[in-house]
Amino acid sequence: MKSNRVKGTYDVLPNESGKWQKLESEIKDVMKLYGFHEMRTPIMEYSEVFHRENDLSDMVTKETYDFLDRSDRKLTLRPEGTAGVIRSYVENKLYVDMSQQKIYYIGPNFRYERPQKGRYRQFYQVGLEALGSMDPALDAEVITLSYDLIKRLGLKGVKVRLNSLGDHESRVIYQEALRAHFEPYKETLCQDCQIRIDKNPLRILDCKIDQKHEAVISAPTPIDYLNSFSKSYFEQVIRYLDAAGVKYELAPRLVRGLDYYSHTVFEIEANINGFGAQNVLGGGGRYQSLIQELGGPDLPGIGVAFGMERLLMAIDEENPGLYDSKALDVYVLTFGEDFKKESVKLLHDLRLASLSADMNYTNKSFKGQLKEALKYQAKFIIILGEDEYKQGFVAIKNTKTENQENVKIENIVSYLKAQNGVEL
Ligand code: HAM
């Protein structure tokens, strides 16, 4: 029997899950501040949710996990969150009651990519989608939220890179300019890019093979092809970002790797040694036709997603103090079977009083139990000594100050709650 994990996947071990929970709780706090509500969609969808006619991105054409179920339905493990959220938005007609919906999600996604540090085949994203409104102030809000989240996580040296692809009309003109630019280089481009010249020349700009090709480096940028509406829209986004005090830099070559974007696109980049391409913590942008492509009305959306593993890696590097989590409140040390009953009752009383508490169930020696208590970073240790117990007392030791006191059994909870350092 195989007992190793699938290539490109990883386990979150019990001593690591606290970090995930802390990150998730910071994220949820920020989402609440901005009025976003959580949505949970299935990890599998009918393949056409992702395999849409005009999506030629690598993610869709080369990286999805597609399979047939036992009734020969074509299904796909979601490679990202946006399309599933839109599918649900349309299916549940969430546009009927509310003119705008602000949705966020946290969950696993699957891409058949070459695994490396910060890049996995199963990875977690936190993402959000603001649906139903086309307003540059909303674009700015989504970017501001991303910026605030990064600041709240204590990540420094993070850049917001910003660009606009313009509306449909601007994109068509820009694509023509790209075709004319790449045509003379056709033979020297990779096989895929030769096809992309006709089908979707924008995708040449983020081709992994041709990224250093002189034609890619010298290619025209979308900003020069924005029509007046798109230009003015982008200027307003910038104005609102300035008003919010968000620091960003314009990135004329940023096009993003997915095909549904128009107008605003952006990425959040860290600057951590050794991260390489994985320095991109998150990215997003506006989309104009995705809702319609998935069977809904002609409504726009804008969103962003962050890789949770990358956020955790960045926090590890730059702000590990964020994880200084609430340790266990109390560890109960017991001696022999005689006091087992009392320990079990005490543990239960502590937990009922909302104090986190634990003890050892492997018959360890006193020393062994003490070691374990320290490993769990228990704030207090309660020692059930025979003599004291018979007189109605237990010893409570504060592991930080090393101060130890005898406390009446009936006062244990009130004593602990009165101590500094016990958070409830
Ligand atoms: P994306 O740029 O494909 O955008 O992914 C967003 C983030 O997910 C990346 O910046 C990266 O941090 C993380 N990520 C992507 N692939 C992997 C991987 N294989 N391993 C680890 N982390 C990864 C989207 O997915 C869009 N749905 C974002 C969006 C939402 N646009 C509009 N709304």
Give the mutation target among 139, 258, 311 for probing the ligand 1 site: most ligand atoms within 8 A of CB: 258
In which residue ranges of the chain is CATH 3.40.50.800 found? 330-418
Per-residue confidence (pLDDT) for residue 326, from 0 to 100: 63
**Amino acid sitting at position 94:** L
Q: Is 279 in the pocket of ligand 1 (CB under 6 A)?
A: no
Burial, 110: exposed, middle or buried (Cβ in 10 Å; 0-12, 13-18, 19+)? Answer: buried
Find how far residue 371's CA is from the centre of its chain.
Answer: 35
Q: Is 125 in the pocket of ligand 1 (CB under 6 A)?
A: yes
SS3 90: helix
* CA of residue 371 to ligand 1 center, whole Å: 42
Q: Is 104 in the pocket of ligand 1 (CB under 6 A)?
A: no
Q: What is the pLDDT of residues 103-162, one digit of tens each?
A: 999 999 999 999 998 999 999 999 999 999 999 999 999 999 999 999 999 998 889 999
Higher pLDDT, 256 or 271: 256
- Please give the number of the atom of ligand 1 that sits closest to the Cα of 287: 32
Per-residue confidence (pLDDT) for residue 334, from 0 to 100: 86
Q: Is 82 in the pocket of ligand 1 (CB under 6 A)?
A: yes
- Architecture of domain 17-167+227-318 in CATH? 2-Layer Sandwich (3.30)
CA distances from 118 to 266, 274, 277 (A): 20, 11, 9
- Please give the number of the atom of ligand 1 that sits closest to the Cα of 258: 3
Give the mutation target among 111, 122, 123, 290 for probing the ligand 1 site: most ligand atoms within 8 A of CB: 123
* CA of residue 107 to ligand 1 center, whole Å: 12
pLDDT band at 424, cuts 50/70/90? very low
For the chain, the first-to-last Cα distance in angstroms comes to: 45
**CA-CA distance, 47 to 313, in Å (whole number)?**
32
**Amino acid sitting at position 189:** L
- Please give the number of the atom of ligand 1 that sits closest to the Cα of 303: 33
SS3 357: strand
* Neighbouring-strand partners of residue 161: 249, 267
Mean pLDDT of 237-255: 95
Whether residue 252 is predicted with pLDDT greater than 90 in this model: the reply is yes
Whether residue 29 is predicted with pLDDT greater than 50 in this model: the reply is yes
Q: Which long-range contacts (CB under 8 A, 24 or more apart) does 108-112 make?
A: 108/43, 109/43, 109/77, 109/78, 109/79, 109/80, 109/81, 110/43, 110/64, 110/65, 110/77, 110/78, 110/79, 111/59, 111/63, 111/64, 111/79, 112/8, 112/62, 112/63, 112/64, 112/65
Q: Is 303 in the pocket of ligand 1 (CB under 6 A)?
A: yes
Q: Is 119 in the pocket of ligand 1 (CB under 6 A)?
A: yes
Find how far residue 242's CA is from the centre of its chain.
Answer: 26
Do residues 197 and 204 lie in contact, with contact meaning Cβ atoms separated by under 8 Å?
yes
Per-residue confidence (pLDDT) for residue 323, from 0 to 100: 84
Q: What is the pLDDT of residues 202-223, one digit of tens each?
A: 999 988 898 899 999 999 999 9
For the chain, what's the residue count? 424
Q: What is the pLDDT of residues 329-356, one digit of tens each?
A: 999 998 877 788 889 999 999 999 999 9
Nearest CA to ligand 1 atom 31: 284
Higher pLDDT, 269 or 1: 269
The tokens for 242 are: 């300035």
Nearest CA to ligand 1 atom 14: 307
330-418 CATH, one of 3.20.20.70, 3.40.50.800, 3.30.1330.10, 3.30.70.260? 3.40.50.800
In which residue ranges of the chain is CATH 3.30.930.10 found? 17-167+227-318
- Please give the number of the atom of ligand 1 that sits closest to the Cα of 120: 20
pTM of the full structure: 0.91
Strands 280-287, 301-307: pairing is: antiparallel
**CA-CA distance, 244 to 246, in Å (whole number)?**
6
The tokens for 2 are: 């195989």
Nearest CA to ligand 1 atom 17: 119
Mean predicted lDDT score pLDDT of the chain:
93
Higher pLDDT, 279 or 165: 165
* CA of residue 188 to ligand 1 center, whole Å: 30
What percent of the chain lies above the pLDDT cut of 90?
A: 79
pLDDT-wise least confident of 8-22, 132-146, 373-387: 373-387
Per-residue confidence (pLDDT) for residue 3, from 0 to 100: 87
